[in-house]
Amino acid sequence: MKHQEITCPYSGTPTHPYIASLPMKPTAYAQFERLSEGHEDVKMLGVDRSAADVWTVFVACVSKNGKDLLESNW
């Protein structure tokens, strides 16, 4: 199934203004959540679970570089 374009329902904060949208398999979500805990550079905002095979995780980031790295490497 092709992943459809998801509109981000979240906005950034003054400290975390950049929002990364990360499509991932549901099985990878728990691992990502564990890896992101305790990192002050990112804040989990929410997850779109509307597609059964690919979820979209929304993460607020401190920098554009951090957002770009997450989106290109996760």
pLDDT value, residue 74: 81
pLDDT value, residue 9: 83
What is the rounded average pLDDT of the residues 45-57? 93
Strands of the chain (E only): list them. Answer: 18-24, 42-48, 55-61
Q: Which two tokens stand for residue 9?
A: 């329902």
Q: Residue 2: pLDDT above 60?
A: no
CA angle 46, 8, 5 (to 5 degrees): 115
What is the rounded average pLDDT of the residues 38-51? 92
Mean pLDDT for the chain?
Answer: 89
With H, G, I as helix, E, B as strand and everything else as coil, classify residue 32.
helix
pLDDT value, residue 65: 96
Q: Which two tokens stand for residue 14?
A: 């003054």
